Structure 1
Amino acid sequence: MAYRTIGLLLLVTDPGRSTTRWIASIAFTGGSGGLSAVLADDWIPYIRAKGWLSEPMAFFLGKAETVSSLICYYGLPYTFVMFASVYHPTLLGNGRLRAWYPWALLVPILLSFAFPPAGGDPIPYRYVSLWSIPYICGGIGLLIHATAIEKNSFLRKTRMLTSLAAAPTLLFALFTLYVLPGYFGLYEWWRYNAWVISFTMAVIIVSSMRYGFMGLQISIRNQKLDYTLRAITSGTSILNHAIKNDVGKIRLFGDKIKSEAGTAEPEQLIEDVNVILNASQHIYDMIYRIQGQTQEVGLQLERLSPAELLDECLTMLEPSLRGVELVKELRYPGVIWGDRVQLTEVLSNVLMNAVEAMPLGGRLSVRLSESKRNIVIEIKDTGSGMEKKQLKRIFDPFYTTKSGKKLNFGLGLSYSYHVIQKHKGTMTVHSKPGAGTSVFINFSKKKGAGAV
C-alpha cells in the first residue's frame, strides 16, 4: 500500500515525465506481491471462515492471487531497470536505442512462460533468475553511476538519495523473491521485506521534505510554477518586465551619447544609436508577440548563433559594465533553433542579474561551450551569492531578492526558466554566500526546440 501511495502521488504531480511513469510502475508491480500475499494469507481464509467462499468467488480470488504474484515476479525487475535506464542522464540519449530498448528487455520475460515451474513453485526460479538478477543489479549500477557523473551539486544530492532509497530495497527483494527460494528452498523470507520498506519510507519522507525524492519535490514546484506562469504570461506582467529592461538600456545609452556627443568618434556614436534602436525594436517585438495572446507566449523558431546573441546582449549592457571585468569565452561557433526575441530577453535578464549582484565591481564570466550532448551557456558573477532559502525560490514568480528596487517585479528568472523549458533545455543556478552565483543554461543537441 505504501509503495502504491508513493507511485500514485508521483503520477498525479507529474504524469508527463517518463521517470515518473516508471516509478509508478515499480510501485504497482511491487505492491502486487503484497496484494497476492494478503489474498492468500488474510482475505481468502477470512471469507472461508465466514462461509462466504462460493466456488466462483474462490476461482476469482485464486486467479487474482496468481496474477498479482506474477505481476510482481516478472514486473518488478523490468520496471526497475527501465526506471534506472530512463533516470540515467546519458544511457538512452540515442533515439533508436530508446525505441527498441524497452521491447528487447521484455523478450526474456515473455520466454519465462515457456518454462514450467518445478513442483509447487509459482515461477521457474532458475530461468527467471537468469534475467531478473542482471536487471536488478544493472538498475542499481545505473543509479550509482548516474549519481557519480552528475555535475550539478543539488541534483547529485537528489540522485544519491534516490539510490539510497531504491538500491537496498531492490537488492533485498532480489534475494527474497528469486535467489533464496530458487537456490536454497527458502520461500518465506519475503515477509521481512516490510523492514526494508520501512527504511525506504523513512528515506523518502525525509528527502521529499528537504531535497525531493525521484523528482517529487521538483515536480510539485515545477507544476506550481507552470500554473502561475500561465496566469502571468497572458500579457501585462511579462511585457512590463521586458519594457523596464529595455527602457533602462535606452536611458543608459542616451546618457552615454549625451555625455560623449562632443568627443566620441562617429563610429562609436553609430554603435550606441544601434543599441538604442535594437532595444526599442525588442520592445516592439514583445508587444507584437503578446498582443492578442490569452495563454502563454509561443515560440517562433529560427536558426540562431548563441555566440552572436551573447555578444549582442553584452553590447547592450556595456554602460553597466563599468568597474566589471568581463571574461568572455565563446567556444561554440554553431547554431541552435530558438526564439530570438525570447532568448535575448532571457540572456539579458541573467546578465543584468549578474551585473547588479556586483555593485562595487567584480568579474563577470560568460562562457559558451559544447559537450557530446549539450550546448552550455555559463554566466558567473563574483557577487555576494545567495543563501539556500533564497536559492530554492529564485524561479518562483514575483519572488525577488532586490526588494529595494521599485521597478523590479521578480519575474526575470521565472520567465527565463519557462522560456528555456519551452526550448527543451534546462536552467540551473549554483550559489553560495560570499562565493558568487553561476547560471547554467543547457540546450540539448537532440532533435527539437534548441537543437539543430
Structure 2
Amino acid sequence: MIIFYIGMFLSLWTIGTILLINNYKNLYTYWMSAMFLIAGFASFSLVMNQSFLPFLREQEFLPLTLIEAFRIFTIVVWGIEYHFLPYLFLIGSIVFSGYFSQKNYKMFVWTLLVPIMIYVIYIPSYYPEAKFGGTIFKIISGVYFLSGILLYISSYFKEKNPLHRKNRFRTNMVVIAISFVYNSDYYGLNYILISKTGLEMSSNNLWKLNFLIVIWLVLFFIYFGLRYGFMGIKLRIEQQKLDFSMRSLTEGTIILNHSLKNEVHKINYLTEKIKDSIHQDCKDEVLQDVSCILTVTHHMLDMVTRIKEKADEIILKEQPQQLSILLDTQLSTMSTILQEKENTLHKDYQIDPLILCDSAHIQETFSNICLNAIESMEPGKGNLEIIITQSKRDVVIWIKDNGAGISKENATKVFDPFFTTKKGALHYGLGLSYCYNVMKKHGGTLKILESEPGKGTLMEMRFPRKRVLDLNMDNTRSPLSKGSKISTLHN
C-alpha cells in the first residue's frame, strides 16, 4: 500500500504545481494550488512514519536527536494538512462562487482562519506525542466542507452562460470528489497518534480509499485539462498555444470591428444631418451634431487603444460615474439614427445613482444593446424605452423595445461567442458576448427578462449594490430630475 501513498502525494503536488505555474495570477488557482499541495502532506507524513522513520531507527550510527527532529517534522506536516485543508477548501469556494467583493473576500480569509487557530492553540501540546482528531474539529471541518460544497453547487446553478456553466460543472465534479475526504479523514477518524515508537490510527478505514480520489483527480485533470480546461488553466502543447493566441487576436479584431462599425454608422447619420442643417442655416443643430461626432470619435479612439483588453481579459479602469450621464451621452449619439427611422425614445430615470465602473466598457455595452434594439424595430413604429431603477438593493437598467423579438431557442444562445441571427458579413455575433463579460466583470449581470417574436425584447443590465456609491444624487448634477420621464418623438 505504501506505493499508493507515495503516488498520492506526488500526484497532488504535481497538480498543485502545474496549476500554480500555468496561472499563478488567478486568485482561485492560487488557493486551489495551495489546497492540492497541502493535501499531499498527510500521505507524505504517513509514508515517512511507516517506512522512512523505522528505517532510520534501525541505523545505530544516527543520533537520536536527528531521528526525533524528523519525527517532529512529520507531525508538523500532518498537522498543517489536517487543520488547514477544510479552510483552503472553503476559501477556494468563496473565490470561485464570485458572490463576494474583494473587501469581503479578504475579511473571510482572516475571519475563517480564527476558529482553526484557536483550536490549534487551545488543544493539548503536540509533543512528545501528537494526537489529531476529536469531536470539536469534526464539527468545525464539517461546517467548512459543507459550506464550500454549497457555494460550488449554487454557483453552478447561478451561472447562465452555457460555456461558463460547463466549466463550473467540471470543477464541481472535482471538488465534490475532494469533499469525500471529510468522511474518511475527519468524520470517520477517531484519532491519529504519532508517538516516539510509531504511528497509530483509529478510524472507519475509509482513508484507505483516498488513493481512488487521487486517481480520479489525476485522470480528470489530464483529460479535461488537455481538452477543455478547468480550475483556471488549460494545458497546451506549443502549437495549441499558438492557435489560441491567433484565435484571441482574431476575436479581438472582430470585436473591435464590431465596435467601429456601430460608431461609423452613427457618424454617417450625423454627417448627413449636418449637411441638411447647413443648407437650412441651422447653426445650433450643426454645433450639436459636431459635438456628438466628437463624442463618437473619442469613444472609438478609447476602444482602439484597449483592443487587447477585449481580445484577452477585460481589465476595468474604474471611476465613480453618474449613470444618467453615461447613458445620455450614448443616447445623444444615437438620436440621429432614431430620427432617420422615425422611432420613439422614452427615458424614465427613477433614480440617478453614482456607480463605480469602467465608463468606456459600460457605454459600449449600453450602445450595443440599444443599437440591437433599434435595428430590430420597424421604421415609424418603433418605441425604445430606457429605465433606471432600483431592484432588491441593486441598480438596474431596463432596455425595452417593440421590435422583432427573440425566439426561446435563440434566447439561450445570444450571449455565446460568434452566435448571431443577423445576416451579412459585418455581423460577427460577438457584441452581446462582450457585453455579458463586461457586466460579469463588474460583478453584475446581463440577461433577457422578456422576449417574444414579433412583440419585442426587455433586456436588463444589473449593477450590484456594492458598486453603488450614491443612490440618490443631487438633481442639479444631472439634466434629469429623479423620477422624471422624457418622451421624444423624432420626426
Instruction: Output one character per residue of 1:258-282: Cα deviation in whole Å (capped at 9) or x when no partner.
Output: 67999x997xx95686244212244
Give the equivalent residue in structure 2 for 1:176: 184
* 1:6 counterpart letter in structure 2: I
Which of residues 70, 86, 89 in structure 2 aligns to 1:77? 86
Question: How large is the RMSD of aligned CA atoms in angstroms?
Answer: 5.5
What whole-Å deviation, never above 9, does each CA across 1:34-56 have from its counterpart, x for those lacking one?
2223333455567889x799447
Residues 265/329 of structure 1: CA separation in 2 closer, same or farther (3 Å cut): farther
1:274 aligns with 2:294: no
Residue 246 of structure 1, CA deviation: 3.3
Residue 210 and residue 275 in structure 1: after superposition, are their counterparts in 2 closer, same or farther (change >3 A)? farther
The structure in which a higher percent of residues are strand is: 2
Q: Following TM superposition, by how much is the alpha carbon of 1:363 offset from its aligned partner in structure 2, in angstroms?
A: 8.5
Q: What is the TM-score when the length of structure 2 is the normalising length?
A: 0.63
Residues 205 and 132 of structure 1, relative CA distance in 2, 3 Å threshold: same
Q: Deviations over 1:261-308 (max 9, x none)?
A: 99x997xx95686244212244157559989x9998998866433234
Say whether 1:351 aligns with 2:385. Answer: no
User: 2:477 matched to which residue of 1?
Assistant: none
Identity of aligned residues (%): 25
2:355 to 327, 330, 336: 336
Q: How does 1:236-247 map to 2 (within 5 A)?
A: 244-247=261-264
Superposed counterparts of 1:6-21, under 5 Å: 6-21=15-30
Larger Rg computed on CA atoms: 2
For the residues of structure 2 that align with 1:437 and 1:45, how far apart are their CA atoms? Answer: 73
SS at match of 2:324: helix
Separation of aligned partners in 1, 2:129 and 2:260: 75
In the alignment, is the contact (CA less than 8 A) between 1:373 and 1:446 conserved in 2?
no
Q: Confirm whether residue 166 of structure 1 aligns to residue 139 of structure 2.
A: no
Report the Cα offset of residue 29 of structure 1. 2.0
After superposition, residues 209-248 of structure 1 pair within 5 angstroms as 213-216=230-233, 244-248=261-265
CA distance in 2, matches of 1:190, 1:80: 18
Instruction: Trace 1:76-115 onto structure 2 (pairs within 5 A).
Output: 76-90=85-99, 95=104, 97-98=107-108, 100-111=110-121, 114-115=123-124
Contact 1:310 1:347 in 2 (8 A): yes
Distance 2:387 2:259 in 1: 24
Matched, 1:30 2:44: no
**Greater mean deviation of Cα atoms: 79-88 or 196-205:** 196-205
Instruction: Tell me what 1:191 maps to.
Output: 208
Tell me the distance in 2 between the aligned counterparts of 1:357 and 1:37.
Answer: 66
1:128 aligns with 2:137: yes
Task: Give the superposition deviation at 1:420.
Answer: 6.5
SS at match of 2:131: coil
The 3-state SS of whatever aligns with 1:182 is strand
Contact 1:118–1:124, Cα closer than 8 Å, also in 2: no
Which region of structure 1 is more displaced relative to structure 2, 114-123 or 76-85?
Answer: 114-123
Inter-CA distance 130–241: structure 2 relative to 1 (3 Å threshold): closer
Look up the equivalent residue of 1:180 and give its one-letter code: G
Taking a change above 3 Å as real, the CA distance of residues 67 and 339 of structure 1, as seen in their structure-2 partners, is closer
SS in 1 for 2:189: helix
Q: Deviations over 1:313-346 (max 9, x none)?
A: 2343345453988787655421224555564344
- Check 1:345–1:166 CA distance in 2 against 1; reply closer, same or farther (3 A cut): closer
SS of residue in 1 equivalent to 2:230? coil
- Give the Å deviation of 1:167: 2.8
Q: Does 1:249 align with 2:266?
A: yes
The SS at the match of 1:196 is helix
Looking at structure 2, the residues matched to 108 and 256 of structure 1 have their Cα atoms a distance apart, in angstroms, of: 72
The code of the aligned residue for 1:254 comes to T
With over 3 angstroms needed to count, the CA separation of the structure-2 counterparts of 1:351 and 1:45, relative to structure 1, is farther
- Which residue is equivalent to 1:283? 297
Give the deviation of 1:27 after TM superposition.
Answer: 1.0
Q: Which moved more, 1:357-366 or 1:315-324?
A: 357-366
**Structure 1 CA distance, aligned partners of 2:222 and 2:397?**
35
Q: Secondary structure at the match of 2:203?
A: coil
Answer with 135-144 or 346-355: which moved more.
346-355
Alignment-derived partner of residue 6 in structure 2 = none
**Which has the larger displacement, 20-29 or 373-382?**
373-382
Q: Say which is worse superposed, 434-443 or 249-258, in terms of deviation.
A: 434-443
The 2-side partners of 1:138 and 1:67 are apart by 27
Can you list the C-alpha shifts for 1:237-267, whole angstroms capped at 9, x where unaligned? 96x87665433212113335667999x997x
Q: Give SS of 1:336's match.
A: strand
User: Where does the alignment leave 5 or more consecutive residues of structure 2 unmatched?
Assistant: 1-9, 192-200, 235-239, 471-491
* Pair 53,192 (structure 1): closer, same or farther in 2 beyond 3 Å: farther
What amino acid is aligned across from residue 152 of structure 2 in structure 1?
A: L
3-state SS in 2 of match to 1:115: coil
One-letter identity of the residue aligned with 1:70: G
Aligned residue type for 2:33: A
Write out per-residue CA displacement over residues 191-218 of structure 1, whole angstroms, 9 at most, x where no aligned residue: 201223444555556666787534446x
Query: How many angstroms apart in 2 are the aligned matches of 1:329 and 1:202?
Result: 55
Change (3 A) 1:213 1:123: same
Secondary structure of the structure 1 residue equivalent to 2:202? coil
Corresponding residue for residue 139 of structure 1: 148
Asked if residue 316 in structure 1 is aligned to residue 330 in structure 2, the reply is no
In structure 2, the CA distance between the partners of 1:4 and 1:344, relative to structure 1 (3 Å rule), is same
Could you give the per-residue CA deviations for residues 347-386 of structure 1, whole angstroms, max 9, x where no partner exists?
3244335555789999977564545565444668835886
CA distance in 2 between counterparts of 1:373 and 1:53 reads 72
Measure the CA separation in 2 of the matches of 1:387 and 1:3.
Answer: 41
For residues 332 and 227 of structure 2, the distance between their equivalents in structure 1, rounded to whole angstroms, comes to: 41
Segments of 5+ residues of structure 1 without an aligned counterpart are none
